[in-house]
Structure 1
């Protein structure tokens, strides 16, 4: 086992523990000698990892401690790079900015060789955000905030036949289908789960109500309905209730 991997596993073995872990237990978990555990703990302490304790007593990671970024192999960092590229290109402004900051931290933490492998991935996404993209990002941010706060939203919505209706919706998730975005939620008008195309929402405002926490109207319940189908619902075709696209 590489020393870097062993040190990571050692910290991970202490993470979240309320009681001190004896060196012999750490040695058994890692498959190394107690002397190696003592040496590794001392090295981690010198590097700034807040491990408290001593030989014979045990070790504990100080509660609330900030742990340095994890190390990634080539496949993992490629997945991270691709994910961040798509978040920067297509997510809301807040998530896009957070993705950019995360990439800076990741690049500073991983070895040059691994970083170079990740950057060579051929899976790309647009790296510029025009005015229309930023405006759409505001919409995504607003929806994200409403979902987090459980705010009921009143939508003025156009269906496929261009007929306009007003819906009070308990928003649960935002889905990107590769070509279009939808808002998934509980439609109070239809008393069921629906998915609304974002480009058909003509107006939106909070009603002032907060959605009650009900298991039958939760995201988990919506996902169970989706997974219960042999084919996941697609925004390119109408699907039957209770997860209907309107």
Structure 2
């Protein structure tokens, strides 16, 4: 977790409390050592954040320095909690970690009744990853990064029948179908839009080339071409 995120979460974990929050609780929530919590709190105090207390006693925000809670309804909050749980379970590692941090930030600024509701929602997406699933999560991260950076990719790809082919593609988007991912892309071999299953990609390498976007090969054109079906027809 970035230091800036930790500092944000410390401030908001203290908001609205009438009793001191122990440093040990902060350390457990943030997944850091007590020494890190002490250092972060000291830095916040030096920068002017009105935190009172000390190591071994606990910390509170000075009265009058509270921050208004986020205006979520109970149902809106539950949707956010469930959504972040699904991202943690099914997305790549980078997005999963970001979802965890985002949820901590959301819960940190909630009033107690909504925080309690968030803690007890009964829709789960258990995170369980063996080595194969960890490798797949890493592949999702790699593809996502290529989409963001507009990198052309070279793939060794197996179709539904197990036949292999070499492809150069311009990646456009990732879609999750509640059990399977697909990568939408412009395929230079087929000279058309295609959908690729990440679990059928044996090798994925960047060519070092940057995609030059055009009206015929951008995301909007891809979405028009697939017509909402996005079936795998590579």
Q: TM-score, normalised by structure 2?
A: 0.67
Q: For the Cα contact (< 8 Å) 2:158–2:200, is it kept in 1? A: yes
SS at match of 1:101: helix
- Partner residue, 1:92: 92
Deviation at residue 94 of structure 1 after TM alignment: 0.7
Does the aligned pair in 1 maintain the 2:84–2:103 contact within 8 Å? yes
Structure 1 gap ranges (5+): 1-45, 50-67, 236-244
Q: Tell me how far 1:69 sits from its aligned partner.
A: 7.3
- The aligned residue for residue 145 of structure 2 is 145
Separation in structure 2 between the aligned mates of residue 131 and residue 174 of structure 1, nearest angstrom: 22
Q: Which residue of 2 aligns with 1:183?
A: 183
What displacement does 1:199 show?
1.3
Runs of 4+ in 1 over 6 A off after TM superposition: none
What's the CA shift string for 1:20-57, capped at 9, x where partnerless? xxxxxxxxxxxxxxxxxxxxxxxxxx8599xxxxxxxx
Deviation at residue 169 of structure 1 after TM alignment: 0.4
Instruction: Tell me the CA shift for residue 76 of structure 1.
Output: 0.7
Q: CA deviation at 1:85?
A: 0.1
- Give secondary structure in 2 for the equivalent of 1:216: coil
Match of 1:238 in 2: none
Residue pair 1:177, 1:234 contacting (<8 A) in 2 also:
no
CA RMSD of aligned residues (A): 2.1
Match of 1:76 in 2: 76
Cα deviation for residue 179 of structure 1 reads 1.7
Greater relative contact order structure (CA < 8 Å, 6+ sep): 2
Taking structure 1 as the reference length, what is the TM-score of the superposition? 0.64
Give the 5 Å matches for 1:72-221: 72-221=72-221
Q: Is the 8 A contact 1:78 1:119 kept in 2?
A: no
Which stretch of the first structure deviates more once superposed, 217-226 or 146-155? 217-226
- Name the CA distance, whole Å, in 2 between partners of 1:69 and 1:92: 30
Which moved further from structure 2: 150-159 or 107-116? 107-116
Counterpart Cα distance in 2 of 1:89 and 1:138:
13
